[in-house]
Structure 1
């Protein structure tokens, strides 16, 4: 059974038929006004496009009375008439035309935003915001993405490569879904799972006094100058902790942001460094196994506690957790 919208006569704050005394002043804008107006904007735009309430109601699939009341309330809240009534048809006032331009732009923005979030959550082609450390960018992360995309070729990634503290800040802010980091964080509000361990090596120039050795105790480098990552990097914290366990505080000659830059500076003779294995052998340096204390860093995946996973995020999280003890080369 089809409900026929009823014809309804409108009265508005600006019409002569509604006046019983002096015309009321327009309602002042208040911060909550947008919240009040928002549900009625689509109805207003629909009536404006059709210039006919009955046809607009049929297009919207709602009773004409519902549409009429929504627009009357909108005009009352604004304190401005948006339509001139001409029998069964309506025409926008000058204020109505101006308001319609802004309303249509706002509705188009909402539509685009809705489509974007729906697309990002699509199980087959959605998006994952994934952060990782600089030291994992050359081999580890590309290898992970290549393996994951073999079964999920259309899933998209928003990648963020930065240092540990900055990455965790973006995770806490909700800008990232997942991050690959080291050390594995242990703090309220975050969930973290250990995935693998990576041995660190003492990197020395090829003409260094220790260069002919294969293994070394870290205490043997106590008098050396170190080139390290800047404070805030996870590897810097691990370096400081390992040196402290070896009984000394490293004398820092340079602080940088890239592990390979540090290797280059070691080769140039500026100092020694504790670094993970390189993707490719670097000339000019020798990499020594540290026997004491045990030099290694744990790598884990972290996410925000209580964070709702979209299907693509859930799929990538399962994949990462399935790579336990397979993340890095031996």
Structure 2
């Protein structure tokens, strides 16, 4: 069923102000009416009148004139933030409409965890591009909280995250699961073991990802379950960097399995049943995807059983 279309009266603010918003945004960005008029390809007096009309309609001063330049007032800064959001949403709508006319092309903004970048994501892109060679990708590697925020704001179409997000505003589909390992230096007292309890390293220093990373939340929760708070010596942004710190004897770490085995660390199974992380493909509930993003989502879900997630 198509979305309901709001009814606007002829004197509604959206109707009266819409033609003036891009002009105001240009003046605010350049802080100069004449330069903005040149950029917009319109006479400077016409642009000045347009901004003055906008201020009159709103009943507030948006710009303070200082000679040939202008600056935003406090009200102007508040209004500009709303204008930029509205123009950005309009641009996304125009992009979606253009993509609808050419479903074999377009762009997909795709975010994923750093640990997915060596195997899983290249496999997905290679397989999808075999049948959709005209589709372009904007690839974003980031931590879970940041990607979910960018997803909500419309910067990303889809993302691979862990743990699986909660809340009705996001839809997540499970792709697979990774068992987590305790990574220790090869000369560590537990290095010869195959399976350990996390409590056995309660007195060791830990190297972890920074707060905001899904794996950091899982690590903290596992340690809390084991009855201790980890003593963190280093925080990083990427799992392989943490493995290097472990190899240097700077601590132990809870990490997903390495893509390539390293001789300078030992990776031990953890006895806790919660020592795992679920990988989920996520998008905004109810927000239409462009045809290429829709096709990529369908492809990822169709091959999820083939992904190298080291389950």
Note the C-alpha offset of 1:212.
0.7
| Deviation, structure 1 residue 134 | 1.5
Q: 1:252-291, aligned counterparts within 5 Å?
A: 252-291=232-271
Say whether the 8 Å CA contact 2:96–2:290 is kept in structure 1. no
CA displacement 1:273-322 (0-9 Å, x = unmatched): 01111121123101111122441000101111111122111111111222
Cα separation, 2, equivalents of 1:293 and 1:177: 33
Aligned to 2:115: 135
Change (3 A) 1:282 1:119: farther
d(CA) in 2 for partners of 1:250 and 1:114? Answer: 47
2:226 & 2:21 partners in 1: Cα distance? 66
Which residue, 280, 305, 311 being the options, matches 2:291? 311
Tell me which residue corresponds to 1:35: 19
The separation in 1 between residues aligned to 2:310 and 2:302, in whole angstroms, is 16
How far is 1:115 from its partner? 8.4
| TM-aligned CA deviation for residue 248 of structure 1 | 1.4
Once residues 161 and 194 of structure 1 are traced to their aligned partners in structure 2, the CA distance between those partners, rounded to angstroms, is 19
Distance in structure 1 (CA, Å) of the matches to 2:241 and 2:177: 23
Contact 1:217 1:293 in 2 (8 A): no
Question: 2:107·2:135 contact (CA, 8 Å) conserved in 1?
Answer: yes
d(CA) in 2 for partners of 1:32 and 1:185?
A: 40
Question: Distance between the aligned counterparts of 1:36 and 1:234, measured in 2?
Answer: 43
Q: Report the counterpart of residue 25 of structure 1 in structure 2.
A: none
Cα offsets for 1:126-184 (capped at 9, x unmatched): 21111111121122211111122122222111111111111000001011111110000
**Could you state the TM-score of these two structures normalised by the residue count of structure 1?**
0.64
1:246 alignment counterpart? 226
Could you give the per-residue CA deviations for residues 240-267 of structure 1, whole angstroms, max 9, x where no partner exists? 1111112211111100001000000000
Within the candidate set 155, 166, 172, 1:186 is matched to 166
Select the residue among 276, 283, 286 that pairs with 1:296: 276
CA contact (8 A) 1:242 1:293 kept: no
Matched with 2:80 is none
Structure 2 residue runs without a partner (length 5+): 1-14, 23-45, 51-90
Aligned residues of 1:253 and 1:271 also touching (Cα < 8 A): yes
Alpha-carbon distance in structure 2 between the residues aligned to 1:256 and 1:36: 46
- The offset of 1:114, in angstroms, is 9.5
Alpha carbons of structure 1 residues 179 and 220: separation in structure 2 relative to 1, 3 Å: same
**Is contact 2:158–2:282 with CA below 8 Å preserved after alignment?**
yes
Instruction: Report if aligned partners of 1:246, 1:293 keep a CA contact under 8 Å in 2.
Output: no
Larger gyration radius, structure 1 or structure 2: 1
CA contact (8 A) 2:205 2:251 kept: yes
1:329 matched to 2:304? The reply is no
C-alpha RMSD of matched pairs (Å) = 2.6
Q: Is the 8 A contact 1:227 1:271 kept in 2?
A: yes
Change beyond 3 A, Cα 1:124–1:247: same
Q: What is residue 181 of structure 2 aligned with on the other side? A: 201
- Secondary structure in 1 matching 2:304: coil
Query: 1:90-105 alignment to 2 at 5 Å?
Result: none
Deviations 1:42-76 (A, max 9, x none): xxxxxxxxxxxxxxxxxxxxxxxxxxxxxxxx9xx
SS at match of 1:244: helix
TM-score by length of 2: 0.68
Q: Which residue of 2 aligns with 1:158?
A: 138
Preserved contact between residue 217 and residue 292 of structure 1 (Cα < 8 Å): yes
The farther-off stretch of 176-185 and 320-329 is 320-329
Whole-angstrom distance in 2 between the partners of 1:285 and 1:162: 25
